[in-house]
Structure 1
């Protein structure tokens, strides 16, 4: 692959929420390819502190209901919207969901292990972009609580969120994304 191709994929990566997903389910093969790429993220001492759990079946409906009830609980009566509550119940119906689990190695600083898992998530996202699959990493409290309440995690494991992904609807508008120029974010220091 040429650097131009890689740069294009990186710059095309964007957040696609579940409302952008079609009702055509992702194939198991596509999900396995995406996770295979995640496994190649950098990891100090090759600890590979990640585990990925695909949530299927009733999880789709239960995740939406859990998120809706959480929304009802945390928003004040003035800010609560019954319409949003009802929409949230069906939030995951067209999504595949991958739980992002970190199992830090106690021999290493925890931040390094979390950084490694974050790199794996970036590989997931870039793979989705290259395959024209939409997705985003949800690290919200409700999402993490759902996973912790419904999956058996080891005592030393942490859920770092859920990656929602799905086939994209046709004719989505292009994102008008910008980044600050490299000159604002890069400096050179010579001693």
Structure 2
């Protein structure tokens, strides 16, 4: 297989593999490190490199679950839901690794460009996971957009927490099939 075909196949083979599809097997740290290194090569305007990541594994995953569950409880006394609390605590525990995704604001370019650059970094991680047949998905649920949660992840007031990559080994060797509507329904060509 030539390089171009391999790249096309990996892009088209990337899937969100959710925690209920994880086997419990631990992903090799070398693959996580490769995901992070590939993230670091994302395009970004003025070389601001705005992506920031915090990797949780082992007991660190439990610390993340405790933090987000307790954060939810402390900040929602009037609408507290025990089921949501339990889910915030237990969801990370289903993973081999969890990577918190942060965007460090530089003031050199518009904020949307920093968010887009960070999303490109995450896409590089997702593609690397897919190439290694590692289960992975990006979630923006839970405490993601809570300003008071940022400091736990080393982010300042001007920065953004953009979610979490949940990572684990898939239970099955069978990779899910993808679905997309035809590209010609989403593109307009202007030629004259």
TM-score, normalised via structure 2 length: 0.81
1:178 aligns with 2:179: yes
Whether contact under 8 Å (2:145, 2:161) holds in the other structure is yes
Structure-1 residue corresponding to 2:165: 163
Aligned length in residues: 186
Whether contact under 8 Å (2:65, 2:91) holds in the other structure is yes
TM-score, normalised via structure 1 length: 0.81
Structure-2 residue corresponding to 1:11: 12
1:128 aligns with 2:129: yes
* Deviation (angstroms), 1:21: 1.4
Once the two structures are superposed, the pairs formed by residues 36-55 of structure 1 within 5 Å of their partners are 36-55=37-56
Whether contact under 8 Å (1:144, 1:162) holds in the other structure is no
* Structure 1 SS opposite 2:102: strand
The verdict on how the C-alpha distance between 1:144 and 1:162 changes in structure 2, with shifts beyond 3 A counting, is farther
Which whole-Å deviations, capped at 9, do the CAs of 1:6-30 have from their partners, x for residues lacking one?
Answer: 1111111111111211222122211
Question: How far apart in 2 are the matches of 1:48 and 1:57?
Answer: 28
* Deviation (angstroms), 1:181: 0.9
Which whole-Å deviations, capped at 9, do the CAs of 1:69-120 have from their partners, x for residues lacking one?
Answer: 749x69x89xx795x8656643222330111111122021111111000000
Question: How far apart in 2 are the matches of 1:147 and 1:6?
Answer: 37
* Structure 1 SS opposite 2:167: strand
Whether contact under 8 Å (1:63, 1:143) holds in the other structure is no
* Structure 1 SS opposite 2:168: strand
Unaligned 5+ segments in structure 1 are none
Root mean square deviation, CA, Å: 2.9
* Deviation (angstroms), 1:144: 5.2
Whether contact under 8 Å (2:56, 2:64) holds in the other structure is no
Unaligned 5+ segments in structure 2 are none
The verdict on how the C-alpha distance between 1:141 and 1:90 changes in structure 2, with shifts beyond 3 A counting, is closer
* Deviation (angstroms), 1:159: 1.2
